Amino acid sequence: MDLRDFLKKDDVFTTSIFDIDDRGRGIGKVLEGAICFVPDARLGELVKIKLEKVKKGFCEGRILETLEKSPIIDYQYCPYLQRGCGGCSLGGVNYEEQLMLKKWKILNAIRRIGAVKLEDIQKELIIQESPVTTNYRNKVTFFVDNGNVGFKGRGSSNVIDCASCKLLEPVVATGYNAIRDFFKTNSDVGMLVKSVMIRKSVYLNENNDVLEEGILVKLTFHKGVRDSEFPWNIFAAKIDEKATLFSLYGNEHIAGDRVTYHHLSNGRRLEILPESFYQINDKVAKLLYDEVGTILMSVIDEVDDTEEKYINASLLKSADKTLILDLYCGCGSIGLAVGSNTLNVRGIELNHDAFLSANRNAMLNGLVSYQYLEGACENKIEEILKENIWQKKVAIVDPPRAGCDHRLLEAMVDNRIDHIIYVSCDPATLARDIRLLGEMGYRIVKVKAFDMFPQTVEVETVVLLSKLNVDKHISVEVELDELDLISGESKAIYTQIKEYV
């Protein structure tokens, strides 16, 4: 159905907002189920809208009036949310409702895109709550523009001036406040800067115990601005009066340590260069890594993952015959967090900084059987697998939002990878890859979600996929039902989704 045959610009409708997209726009339905995106609409609100765009399969409208406020939102949660800040797409929404919505997003994506029977995976899926729902971010990027210092608006490139942010860890928040005050006071200097990245860092002793927390700061300048044009000494002195500044970067390294340090729960040390990826919620990252480790040891030793904890060295009798592929490995954080000294880990990473960090981290922690290659996973995997000496092959994949390259999926299938532990930050691309792997002989064995990003629509998911000869798997079957959010054949609203999930 082409919506342009039935709708036109300036048409007026009333709609209930039952979902939020990745850009923070509310999602409602008009005209017998047509999807309509509504910027600035909040989950659970009833709004009167005027259509501004009509496309073949969806439309977009702007709010004329909010007829009913959402019963699940604390509108006093953050004053900047009301001014259009895009940092918290679910800010102020009751936390149980946030978890329910994220679970629904995963279920719907895996059913609709992944072609998995919903009732099978629904009874399997649980979502791990975050121990904290505010003050959890160990890293933040904010922007400087025309005197405003803060975050991009919802669906906009405008910078919303924010004096604080409820999501930042205290040490990061202290750094944010100090840097914001500097640019507010020195607006002429602020005109040189496009954005600022702050990452929590720690000093560790020889036993990897945390001695002190501080921050790494990286400034991104507007095009053509050189490091020499910025007053680094003045900036560093002012920031260090209020925050503990460990490292400073512009276009190049300026001062302090070149890396940021993290302390993993298994006692290992993690060094991260500024451009390397690391999970932004330390507490949930630990829980996610524990889950990956438990799954990994259960498939290596073929024991139930509830019997013994993966860190127990007695479970490693099969490890010397098993290859662990750590794909899109970043700085090696997952392998370092879940593996033992006896595992044969081979990682691949495209980002140069992260690749350097991964090898450095393996050396720092005495992991001589951990080796990393630089390059695209789909191009380098054959180099690792050309030695056919392994009795079992397990892949851990943690791709960016775009998901795995299809050539990588084909290579894993062609080389008969026994188990794939897929860590995903996007339910849609996860579901796409699940379907492709399903068509090539893999099925879901286990799935668990992790609320890495409270107050936002983002969610992490860990899925174990195994070849069909395993005893337990979920069958794949395309089945359209009453909760298809995209086709427009249904009229699902928020309360219906809540009852269903």
φ, ψ of residue 430 in degrees (nearest 5): -60, -50
Is 25 within 8 Å of 2 (Cβ atoms)? no
| Residues forming beta bridges with residue 144, ordered by sequence position | 149
User: In sequence order, which residues have a C-beta less than 8 Å from that of residue 434 and are 6 or more positions away?
Assistant: 110, 114, 116, 422, 444, 463, 465
Range list of β-strands (E), 259-407: 260-263, 269-272, 322-327, 344-349, 370-374, 392-397
Q: What local confidence, expressed as pLDDT, does residue 493 receive?
A: 42
Q: Please state, in angstroms and rounded to a whole number, the distance separating the CA atoms of residues 465 and 477.
A: 16
Which of 324-346 are b and which e, b meaning 16 or more Cβ less than 10 Å from the residue's Cβ?
bbbbbbbbbbbbbbbbbeebbbb
Is 221 within 8 Å of 192 (Cβ atoms)? yes
- Nearest Cα neighbor of 429 from 448, 398, 403 is 403
Is 40 within 8 Å of 84 (Cβ atoms)? yes
pTM of the model: 0.86
Q: What local confidence, expressed as pLDDT, does residue 463 receive?
A: 96
> Which single residue is written with the structure tokens 């005109």?
191
Q: What local confidence, expressed as pLDDT, does residue 321 receive?
A: 83
Block means of pLDDT (10 residues each) for the chain, length 501 residues? 92 94 87 90 93 94 94 92 87 93 91 82 85 97 96 87 97 97 96 96 79 93 96 96 93 87 79 87 94 92 47 50 94 88 91 92 91 96 87 95 95 95 96 95 94 96 85 40 36 45 47
Q: What local confidence, expressed as pLDDT, does residue 121 receive?
A: 74
Q: What local confidence, expressed as pLDDT, does residue 429 receive?
A: 96
Amino acid at the residue 34: A
Q: Please state, in angstroms and rounded to a whole number, the distance separating the CA atoms of residues 253 and 234.
A: 17
Task: Return the structure tokens found at 288.
Answer: 């996610």
Q: Please state, in angstroms and rounded to a whole number, the distance separating the CA atoms of residues 109 and 399.
A: 17
Give the helix/strand (H/E) hosting 122.
helix 118-122
Number of Cβ within a 10 Å radius of residue 41: 27
385 Rama sector, left if φ>0, alpha if ψ -120 to 50, beta otherwise: alpha
406-414 vs 427-439: helix crossing angle, rounded to 10? 40
Q: Give the residue extent of every domain in the chain.
A: 139-272, 282-467
Q: Does domain 139-272 have CATH number 1.10.1200.10?
A: no
What CATH number is given for 282-467 in this structure?
3.40.50.150
Task: Please give the biggest Cα pair distance in the chain.
Answer: 70
Give tens-digit pLDDT for 132-154: 999 999 999 999 999 999 999 87
Q: What is the 3-state secondary structure (H, E, C) of 373-416?
A: EECCHHHHHHHHHCCCCCCEEEEEECCCCCCCCHHHHHHHHHCC
Q: Please state, in angstroms and rounded to a whole number, the distance separating the CA atoms of residues 335 and 345.
A: 7
